[in-house]
Structure 1
Amino acid sequence: MISVSQLFIYPIKSTKGIALKRANTVNGGFEYDRILMISEPNGTFITARQFPELLKLKTEIVNNIVHISLPSTKSISINLDDFSNTIEPTQVWGNHFVSHIASIKVNQFFSQFLKKDVQLRWVGNELSRRTKRYPEVPVSFADGYPYLLLNEASLAYLQQQCPEKLDISQFRGNIIIKGALPFAEDGWKTIKIGGVIFDIVKPCTRCVMTTINVNSTNYLNNNEPLTTLGYFRTDEQGKIDFGMNMIARNYGEISINDPVEVLERQVAKNYINCFPFENNKPTQFYTITVEDKTIKGNNQQTILEQLEQHNIQLPYSCRAGICGHCLVKLKEGEIIAKTQTAIKNNNQILACSCIPKGNITIERLKK
C-alpha cells in the first residue's frame, strides 16, 4: 500500500524544515508553509542557494508567534500581527506580487546573521501571488507551486547510483510517500490523500539547493546529486527533475500513514538516457582566458568550477543549466556541452554546463 511516511513545512523559505504528524491544506499550501521569506531591500528573494547558512535557522510556530533560533543559540520571536500594514513589491523567480515587511528590529536580526542588509517578509492573510500556469491558485513564497511530493523509492534508486550520501531533506519536500515503485509518481495525474485531492501539475526542476548538506551546509562533491540525476532525469530542454509539484483541489487534513490513492494517470515525461556521462579522454590542460585574466584549465571540469577555483566569480543560481545566470560569450575555442541547452545563440554558453575542449577565451556578459 502506498502511504504518507513524512510531512514537512518550512515556515521561512530556505530554512530548516519542521516535521509534522499531520498538516492542513490552506490557501497557498500547507498551513504556515513558506509564509515568511528573507529578501533584498528591493523585495527580491534570497535563498540558501546564495546563503547556505540559512539552512541552520530553526523555526517554531506557536499561537501565531514565530520563534527563530540561530546556531549561536541567539533567538527572536515574531508576532505575525507586527508586520507592516502596507504592502510592498516582492519577487520570486520573476513572479511579481506584494508582501508585508517586518520591523526594523527583526530585519536587523537577520541582517547581522547574514552580514548583509536584508528584510523579512510575510505573505499576509490575503495572498496576492498566483502560480504562472494556474492563475486561480494562490501560492506562498515557495519556488513555484504549493506542494512538493517525493517518493522514498525514487530517492533509494538515486542513492544506488550516487557516490555521495543523500538525505531526503535536501530535496525540500512537503509530502514524502512510501510503498510505491521508483518514479511511479511520474505517471500520476491526480491522487487522493486523506480527504484531499491533489493534481500533479509538473515534475520539479532541481537546482544547486539539492547539492547542499543540510546539516553541515557544505556542498557535496562533484555537484552531486545533480550530476547523477543528470544522467537519467534530464529532459529535452536540459532540465533535471526530481519530485512532483502539486496543487490541492480542496482544504483538509492529511496525516502520517494516510493511504495514497491514484485517481488518474498520465503519460510520464520523456527523459534523455545519457547514464553515465563519461569524459573518456585523459586529463589534458588548457588555458581559460576571461578578459584580462588567464588561468590553467582542464578537460574534466566545467568552466564555472574552474573559474571558481581561481577566485574568478560568475553569477549563478542553479548550477544545473536552468537559470541562465552564468551565461558567457565564447570568443575563441571549443567546448563540450553537458546538456542540449548549454549552447545558446551568438556564441553564448552556460559556464556551469560546458567543459573546455581546448584553449578558450570567454567574456562576461553585461547585465
Structure 2
Amino acid sequence: MPYSLSELTIYPIKSIQGISLQSSEVDFSGLLGDRRYMLVNQNNQFISGREHPNITLITARSLGNNQWLLSHPKMANKVVLHADTFPAEFLSVQVWDDVLQGQRTQNDIDTWLSEIAAEPVKLIYFGTTSQRYTSRRPETPVAFADGYPFLLTTQASLDDLNKTATRTIEMAQFRPNLVIEGNQAFEEDRWKRIKIGEVEFENVKPCVRCIFTTLNPKTAERIGKGEPLKTLGKFRLLGKEGVTFGVNMIALNKGRISTGDTVEILEYHEAETYLDRR
C-alpha cells in the first residue's frame, strides 16, 4: 500500500476546532489560513486551550471574501469576522518567547470571545507587519502555530498508541495539519525529507506534547487517567524534553497538496531513540 495523505486540517484561530480540507495551498508559513488569528489577554500574551478549554469548542466557517462565521455551542449568537474591515492598529503580542506585531480585529468579536474565555481578551490577526520565525530554522516563517508551520502525524502511530492506552485516543487531540496512512507505526521519525503533491517538506524535530492533548475535542473536558500522555510516557519519552507524538515540518517550496496525494520518502535520517516500557 503506498503512503498517502489521508487528512488535511487548518485551525484558522489558534486553539479552536479544526477544518478538514480536500486540498490547500502551501506557503512557507503554513497551510493557507492556518493559525492566522489568536487570542491574547490584557497583557497581550497569547491564550490557548491549555488554560481555556472552552475556546476549543469555537468553530469557524469560511464565507469567502476574507470572512469567517464564528459559533460556539454555549453562545446564542454567531459573529462574522471580516478581515477587510480591520483597523490599521497593531500591538506587540507574545507567543511563547516571541514578541511580534499583531493587528487588532473587531471590537464585537473581542466582546463575544471574552464571554467564552470568561476574561477580557482580544483577537489578533497575523497581518502585513507581523513577522515570526522558527527557532531551528530561523529563515523559515511561521504564523501563530506553537513553533513550526506544519505538524505531521500518521494513522499507524495512532493505532499503535491505542493498543495500550487506557482510553481511545482520537487524532483530533493532537491537532495535526497533515495525517499520513500506509506506513508502519512511528516510521515518520526516520523521514527527513518527503514530497506530498507539489510540495517537499523537511522533518525538523519530534513534536513534544502537552496537556492540551488530554482534552476531549468534542466536549473540551479532560478525558481522564492522564491520557494520552500517560501511555506515551511509557514508550515515547525523549529525555528531559518530554513525550513526543508527530513531527514538526517545514515546507521547502510552495505549491498545492490534496488528500489522496501519494507521499514519497525522499530522504531518511537517524531517528531519536526511545525506550519502550509498555
TM-score for both structures, normalised by structure 1 = 0.73
Distance 1:201 1:4 in 2: 19
Residues 3 and 262, structure 2, Cα contact 8 Å, conserved in 1: yes
| Per-residue Cα deviation, 1:173-201 (whole angstroms, up to 9, x for no partner) | 00011000000000010000011000110
Instruction: Give the secondary structure class of the aligned counterpart of 2:46.
Output: coil
The answer for the alignment partner of 1:21 in structure 2 is 22
| Per-residue Cα deviation, 1:291-320 (whole angstroms, up to 9, x for no partner) | xxxxxxxxxxxxxxxxxxxxxxxxxxxxxx
Distance 2:158 2:66 in 1: 34
The answer for the alignment partner of 2:66 in structure 1 is 64
Tell whether 2:181 aligns with 1:178. yes
Q: Unaligned stretches of 5+ in structure 2?
A: none
The one of 218, 221, 227 aligned to 1:218: 221
The answer for the alignment partner of 1:249 in structure 2 is 252
Instruction: Give the secondary structure class of the aligned counterpart of 1:185.
Output: helix
Call closer, same or farther: CA 1:154–1:164 in 2, change over 3 Å: same
The one of 138, 150, 162 aligned to 1:159: 162
Rg bigger for which structure? 1
Distance 1:7 1:218 in 2: 25
Distance 1:160 1:7 in 2: 24
Q: Shift of residue 136 of structure 1?
A: 1.3
The answer for the alignment partner of 1:49 in structure 2 is 50
The answer for the alignment partner of 2:138 in structure 1 is 135
Q: Shift of residue 81 of structure 1?
A: 2.1
**Aligned residues, how many?**
275
Instruction: Give the secondary structure class of the aligned counterpart of 1:230.
Output: helix
User: Which structure carries more relative contact order (alpha carbon 8 Å, separation 6+)?
Assistant: 2
**Which amino acid letter does the alignment assign opposite residue 138 of structure 1?**
P
| Per-residue Cα deviation, 1:315-349 (whole angstroms, up to 9, x for no partner) | xxxxxxxxxxxxxxxxxxxxxxxxxxxxxxxxxxx
| Per-residue Cα deviation, 1:69-98 (whole angstroms, up to 9, x for no partner) | 111342100111222313211111112211
Residues 28 and 127, structure 1, Cα contact 8 Å, conserved in 2: no
The answer for the alignment partner of 2:35 in structure 1 is 34
| Per-residue Cα deviation, 1:121-170 (whole angstroms, up to 9, x for no partner) | 00013541111121211101100000000100000000001010111000
| Per-residue Cα deviation, 1:19-77 (whole angstroms, up to 9, x for no partner) | 00001112410000000101112221100001111111010122200110111342100
Q: Shift of residue 214 of structure 1?
A: 0.5
The answer for the alignment partner of 2:6 in structure 1 is 5
The answer for the alignment partner of 2:97 in structure 1 is 94
CA RMSD, aligned part only?
1.2
Residues 6 and 260, structure 2, Cα contact 8 Å, conserved in 1: yes
The one of 267, 271, 275 aligned to 1:272: 275
The one of 179, 197, 207 aligned to 1:194: 197
TM-score for both structures, normalised by structure 2 = 0.96
Residues 28 and 252, structure 2, Cα contact 8 Å, conserved in 1: no
**Which amino acid letter does the alignment assign opposite residue 121 of structure 1?**
I
- How is 1:214-363 mapped onto 2 (pairs within 5 angstroms)? 214-273=217-276, 275-276=277-278
Deviates more, 1:256-265 or 1:67-76: 67-76
The answer for the alignment partner of 1:106 in structure 2 is 109
**Which amino acid letter does the alignment assign opposite residue 90 of structure 1?**
V
The answer for the alignment partner of 2:83 in structure 1 is 80
The answer for the alignment partner of 1:350 in structure 2 is none
Distance 2:129 2:246 in 1: 28
Aligned-residue sequence identity (percent) comes to 38
**Which amino acid letter does the alignment assign opposite residue 215 of structure 1?**
K
Instruction: Give the secondary structure class of the aligned counterpart of 1:227.
Output: helix
The answer for the alignment partner of 1:287 in structure 2 is none
Distance 2:256 2:119 in 1: 39
Residues 196 and 251, structure 1, Cα contact 8 Å, conserved in 2: yes
Distance 2:250 2:61 in 1: 25
Q: Unaligned stretches of 5+ in structure 1?
A: 277-367
Q: Shift of residue 104 of structure 1?
A: 2.0
